[in-house]
A and B are shown apart, each in its own frame.
Chain A
Amino acid sequence: MDLIKEHPILEFEHGKKVKFFFDGKAMEGFEGEPIAAALHANGVRIYRETPEMKRPRGFFCAIGKCSSCFMVVDGVPNVRTCVTALTEGMRVETQRGKGLVPPLS
């Protein structure tokens, strides 16, 4: 993972390491940290594709305001991955277009 190993001021206390899936591929991240940060640490830059121009979109504001990092998480589209915590076994997928809201279970 692309993590900062040494820092003159900060010490990073990461949570429990968990496994999650990005487009079916197994990756590791830390529980409770934003999905977007975990993906970035795994070298993933493209989080969704726009509906009409098919332009790639990634991380941008990190405070849940810009909608650039919307992804499909456990089947639910338009999840703000910068403010959604990673959990064990989570299935994260690149969102293509507007996403389909799953039927109520």
Chain B
Amino acid sequence: MRQTEVMVIGGGPAGLSAAVEAASLGCQVMVVDSDLKLGGQLIKQTHKFFGSKEEHAGTRGYEIANILFRELEENKDRIQVLSNTTAVGYYKEDGVVSCVTGEDEYFRVKPQRVIMATGAQEKMIPFPNNDLPGVYGAGAVQTLMNVYGVLPGKRVLMVGAGNIGLIVSYQLKQAGVDIAGIVEFMPHVGGYWVHAAKVRRLGIPIYLRHTIVEALGERYVTGAVIQAVGEKGGLAGEPKKVDCDVICMAVGLTPTCELLWQAGCEMVFVPELCGYVAKRDNQMRTSVPTIWVAGDAAGIEEASSAMVEGRVAGLNAARSTGHVTDTEFDARSSLYWKRLSDLRAGPVGEKIRYGISQACCGSWEV
């Protein structure tokens, strides 16, 4: 049985931030990440981030990952990183986490504290043939082209005009892939106007109030059928055939929360956070006193706030193991919460603020 003071599950923006925060304060930290490369979705992001200067606004996502990697390196004496290692079970009887490296090297860890930064997974919508090869999640398309330099296809139909659908369409064009169009069920673009404008300047059509009704092909995607939707959401107008070899699904994400369920954390369904999330106090601590949550696993938001939530979780794990003075804790905590409230300010943050109000219980102490 391996031991560690703080175990961080997930090596994306939230998890890495949590790890460097806790380690820089003196904790022994173990990070497990299921992918071959650390950094989560950050390493696939070629666009410049918005948000705030503290969270590297104006810097491309993969460069932000490099900044976090340098912080990991600075704290390497106290951080053990295990890539290609999936946490597959949390045993609430004794707080043991079982993990597997690759496909067959199982081991157990007994951590004193756990930070769940397990991220998110792609949502899917139902339509005939949605299981055909060539129907890919938007994250997968980004992995292929931006991490491994592999062309996902020749001509892509994008489903969803939220930020991910818009950004990935733009990135596909940068990689030299043709875009048949973007279909969006809603009567308006869900993402930022600046991303929509970039896509429109490239001549990519955005079909609002449209949906995909079928993927075409016998063994893999050779096309798609799209159709307009009426006022009440039913199909309207004539179905249109679209030539494409990839159908890219950008219809939203949902928090990855299996381990939180297994741990017995109190869970709540919050539509604004895109699924079930752990109830947490105002320091990101779940109903299980040794477990904190951070990033998309705590509710779908974006990488800037995920990094700050990671800092909060790391700081609290360090305090609970006696590594931080009250003065230091208060100074850092108020700084991080100020940054979070800045990131969530204004009309853009309204939905997320409401979602968090549904999941946050203030304090577990009674």
Interface residues of A (CB under 8 A from B): 1-10, 12, 14, 32-34, 37, 40-41, 45-47, 55-66, 76, 78-80, 82-85
Q: List 13 A-B contacts (CB under 8 A).
A: A2-B151, A3-B149, A4-B150, A7-B174, A9-B60, A34-B148, A37-B144, A59-B133, A63-B34, A66-B122, A76-B103, A83-B35, A84-B84
Which residue of the partner chain, among B103, B139, B150, B175, contacts A80 with CB atoms under 8 Å? B103
Q: Of residues B46, B148, B175, B176, which shows the largest number of chain A Cβ atoms within 10 Å of its Cβ?
A: B148
**Contact in complex: B36, A83 (CB < 8 Å):** yes
**Contact in complex: A46, B220 (CB < 8 Å):** yes
Given contacts A4-B151, A65-B256, contact A40 B220 (CB under 8 A): no
1/0 per residue B152-173: CB within 8 Å of A?
Answer: 1000000000000000000000
**Chain A: interface secondary structure?**
loop
**Contact in complex: A60, B103 (CB < 8 Å):** no
**Contact in complex: B135, A60 (CB < 8 Å):** yes
**Contact in complex: B121, A63 (CB < 8 Å):** yes
B interface, size bucket: 35 or more
* B360 in the interface (beta carbon within 8 A): no
A37 to B151, CA, bound (A): 10
A82 to B147, CA, bound (A): 12
Instruction: Considering the complex, give the chain A residue whose CB is closest to the CB of B177.
Output: A4
* Given A9-B60, A45-B220, A60-B122, 20 other A-B residues pairs in contact with their CB atoms under 8 A: A4-B145, A4-B150, A5-B176, A6-B176, A7-B174, A9-B174, A10-B46, A10-B62, A34-B36, A40-B144, A45-B134, A45-B219, A47-B133, A56-B132, A56-B133, A58-B133, A58-B220, A66-B137, A76-B103, A82-B143
- B176 to chain A: which residues have CB within 8 Å? 4-6
* B205 in the interface (beta carbon within 8 A): no
Given contacts A4-B175, A63-B35, contact A46 B133 (CB under 8 A): yes
**Contact in complex: A56, B219 (CB < 8 Å):** yes
Given contacts A6-B176, A34-B36, A56-B219, contact A61 B137 (CB under 8 A): yes
Q: How far is the CB of A36 from chain B (nearest CB, A)?
A: 9
* B227 in the interface (beta carbon within 8 A): no
- A78 to chain B: which residues have CB within 8 Å? 103
Q: How far is the CB of A41 from chain B (nearest CB, A)?
A: 5
- A84 to chain B: which residues have CB within 8 Å? 84, 102-103
Instruction: Considering the complex, give the chain A residue whose CB is closest to the CB of B151.
Output: A2
Q: 9 tightest A-B contacts by CB?
A: A58-B133, A62-B140, A12-B149, A62-B143, A45-B133, A37-B148, A2-B151, A45-B220, A41-B150
A2 to B175, CA, bound (A): 11
- B149 to chain A: which residues have CB within 8 Å? 3-4, 7, 10, 12, 14
- B62 to chain A: which residues have CB within 8 Å? 10
